[in-house]
Amino acid sequence: MLPSCDRVLRASRATYLPSTNRGIPVPKNPTNLGGHLRRRRLELRLVQAEAAGKLGVSTVTLSKWECDRRYPAWTKQAKVVAYLGYNPFDDPMLGRPLANETPGVAFVALKSSRQIGDRIRLRRLQLRKTRSQLAHETGLSLKTLWNWEHHKRTPSPRLRGVIMAALKLK
């Protein structure tokens, strides 16, 4: 028989996060957007339905974000920033989005390229414009912009001036 003790230790669990939740580990230092979202939700002691309501998305969408199967569209990124209390989209360590957004979203953090296609794409993404919107505003063909951004073609001197003026590039 073990000796018994009349002392009881009590500690508040409010300050501690579980190490796992339904078998999925809770990251201490998240390295991806899904980890940031999951950690914040568990810190607030919310179920996915409540967190999804705060973000204005469905529970399926939030689940896909947390599992890194989808990346929040630009229209939802402001709500994600408000929910987290900081902007995780500025962190180049988050890596590339995996599904619905193009690799260009993560490309915004990379400003070292001097090629005209990369500069056009970078500026377009900073302005949060789709390729279709930019093509319509500049009077260029969507296919032309795509070819420039993917280094299939280079703009003529006249069109280079048009795009540089429209995007305010130097």
CATH top-level class of 111-167? mainly alpha
Q: Is the dihedral of CA 103, 77, 93, 115 positive or negative?
A: positive
pLDDT digit string, tens, across residues 101-138: 454 454 444 455 678 888 888 888 778 788 888 889 88
Percent of the chain whose pLDDT exceeds 90: 12
- pLDDT at position 54 is 93
Ranges for all domains in the chain classified under CATH 1.10.260.40: 20-103, 111-167
Cα separation, 148 vs 166, whole angstroms = 15
Q: How many CB atoms lie within 10 A of CB 80?
A: 19
Statement: residue 88 has pLDDT above 90: no
- pLDDT at position 167 is 83
State the burial class of residue 5 (Cβ atoms within 10 Å of its Cβ: 0-12, 13-18, 19+). Answer: exposed
Whether domain 20-103 has CATH 1.10.260.40: the reply is: yes
Cα–Cα separations (whole angstroms), residue 50 to 21, 57, 59: 16, 10, 9
Tokens of residue 139, six digits: 């009077």
Closest residue by Cα to residue 101 from 130, 66, 124: 130
Mean pLDDT, all residues of the chain = 78
- pLDDT at position 23 is 62
Cα separation, 29 vs 69, whole angstroms = 19
* Confidence tier at 33 by pLDDT (50, 70, 90): confident
Cα separation, 65 vs 38, whole angstroms = 9
- pLDDT at position 62 is 92
